[in-house]
């Protein structure tokens, strides 16, 4: 068995995904940077990963909302690396427009839920089968799957209901796969980022700057992609071997109940 561990990060070319790629590269993982459209950003993320210590880094295009496309991604990774030690379900989208719950459209619902919930479910199904086969073949020892969800899994935002519902559903997907795969030797974790400074949050940054300054986040700052990357890297290193289905809130204390 090769000593080189391979990790796949969906949506790894930008934002939180790129922070995860960087952190895993620093831990000596070879990485696959999955992307849907922006090949130049994915290539840049791969170059950065190599500079940070990754033995290998490859960009692979696939649309995680499409089960056929994502199945091909798993096949490509298996052919390229021969193993999957860590799979990070990070890719996700926000609604194109934030609108009141009473104005949410079926089109926006289908688009967001298809990408953020339906897609990762069927992708993880395929990944799990590949990991089980690799365990049986002795190719991997302790494969792990991480779901990047959101505090929106339990915080209601009535101007992006479809996003909250998709993330809440994805949280249950993580629990389901953790339960199903525990006996197979595959550990599953969920990370719930809070307010993270990325291009996805750029449009609401000013309003949240004010709210953070007013005390919304006890740690009094935005989170960063690097914060999420550090958490994934800790999981990747096997720091939580007697845990599966665990949920880690990375929200600066936003979820605390404070009197």
Q: What's the whole-number mean pLDDT along residues 114-126? A: 98
Residue 118 within any structural domain of the chain: yes
Which residue in 63, 160, 57 sits closest to 120, CA to CA? 63
Please report the pLDDT score of residue 1 as a whole number: 56
Q: What percent of the chain has pLDDT over 70?
A: 99
What lies within 8 Å, CB to CB, of 143 at 6+ separation is 84, 85, 86, 87, 131, 134, 135, 185, 186, 187
CATH number where 173 lies:
3.40.50.720
- Mean per-residue pLDDT, 185-208: 91
Rg (CA), the chain: 18
Q: Given strand 144-148, what is the order of strands in its sheet?
A: 57-61, 30-35, 6-9, 86-89, 144-148, 187-193, 246-250
Asked whether the predicted pLDDT for residue 200 surpasses 90, the reply is no
pLDDT score for 6: 98
Query: Is residue 81 assigned to a domain?
Result: yes
pLDDT tens digits, 4-16? 999 999 999 999 9
Tens digits of residue pLDDT in 80-113: 999 999 999 999 999 999 999 999 999 999 999 9
Exposed (0-12), middle (13-18) or buried (19+): which is 51, by Cβ within 10 Å? Answer: exposed
- Domains contained in the chain, number: 1
Residue 142 covered by a domain: yes
The yes-or-no verdict on residue 117 having pLDDT over 90 is yes
Residue 221 lies in a domain: no
Give 20's strand partners: none
* Residue 134 domain flag: yes
Task: For residue 151, name the pLDDT band (cuts at 50, 70, 90).
Answer: very high
The CB density around residue 214, as the number of other CB atoms within 10 Å, is 9
**Does residue 162 form part of some domain?**
yes
Q: Is residue 86 part of a domain?
A: yes
CA distance 87 to 122: 13
Show which residues are catalytic: 163
pLDDT at 247 over 90: yes
* Position 242 pLDDT exceeds 80: yes
220 domain residue, yes or no: no
Q: Which domain holds residue 169?
A: 6-196+226-250
| Averaged pLDDT score across all residues of the chain | 96
């Amino acid at each position: 068995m090769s000593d080189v561990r391979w990790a796949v990060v969906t949506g790894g070319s930008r934002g939180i995904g790129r922070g995860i790629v960087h952190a895993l590269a620093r831990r000596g993982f070879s990485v696959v940077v999955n992307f849907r459209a922006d090949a130049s950003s994915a290539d840049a993320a791969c170059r950065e990963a190599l500079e940070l210590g990754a033995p290998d880094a490859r960009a692979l295009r696939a649309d995680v909302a499409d089960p056929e496309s994502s199945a091909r991604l798993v096949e490509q990774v298996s052919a390229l690396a021969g193993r999957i030690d860590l799979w990070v379900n990070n890719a996700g989208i926000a609604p194109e427009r934030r609108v009141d719950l009473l104005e949410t459209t079926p089109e926006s619902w289908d688009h967001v839920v298809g990408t953020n919930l339906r897609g990762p479910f069927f992708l993880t199904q395929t990944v799990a089968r590949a990991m089980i086969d690799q365990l049986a073949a002795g190719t991997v020892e302790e494969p792990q799957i991480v779901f990047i969800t959101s505090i929106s899994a339990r915080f209601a935002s009535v101007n992006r209901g479809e996003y909250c519902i998709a993330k809440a559903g994805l949280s249950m997907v993580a629990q389901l796969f953790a339960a199903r795969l525990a006996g197979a030797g595959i550990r599953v974790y969920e990370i719930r980022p809070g307010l993270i400074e990325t291009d996805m949050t750029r449009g609401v940054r000013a309003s949240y700057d004010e709210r953070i300054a007013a005390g919304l986040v006890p740690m009094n700052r935005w989170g960063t992609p690097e914060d999420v990357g550090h958490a994934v890297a800790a999981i990747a290193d096997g720091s939580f071997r007697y845990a599966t289905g665990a949920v880690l809130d990375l929200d600066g204390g936003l979820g605390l109940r404070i009197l």
